[in-house]
Amino acid sequence: MTKIRINDVVFLKSFNGSFRAVEHIEEAENYWKLIGERGIVIGDNPEFTTQDRLLVQFDRSIKTLGLICHNDPANSLWILRSDLEKGSLVREKTG
């Protein structure tokens, strides 16, 4: 498995290790809506946690999905490395 690094294109394959939102989640915190979305890794090793997280800036606007996003730059979230899958700039067509 190839290690994901800064500037890599990635896709969110799960959120916090799961494929579905936890029960009783506020709609503004339902980050599972981003599963399948593409982004670029723009940072690593946050000082606020010991978890292995990467800062991903998503192509899609997080706020237009109704989600809370306070990070700089816009549309970026700290994501567990294990929730990401390395991708490419071009999405393959299916079907």
39 lies in a domain?
A: yes
Question: How far apart (Å, rounded) are the C-alpha atoms in residues 43 and 21?
Answer: 25
Looking up residue 69, the CATH number of its domain turns out to be 2.30.30
77 lies in a domain?
A: yes
| pTM of the predicted model as reported, rounded to 2 decimal places | 0.85
25 lies in a domain?
A: yes
Structural domain total, the chain: 1
Q: Which H/E stretch holds residue 12?
A: strand 9-12
CA-wise closest residue to 12 among 65, 80, 73: 80
Q: Does residue 94 carry a pLDDT above 50? A: no
Instruction: Return the bridge partners of 29, or none.
Output: none
Query: Each residue of 40-90: pLDDT tens digit?
Result: 999 987 777 778 899 999 999 999 999 999 889 999 999 999 999 998 765
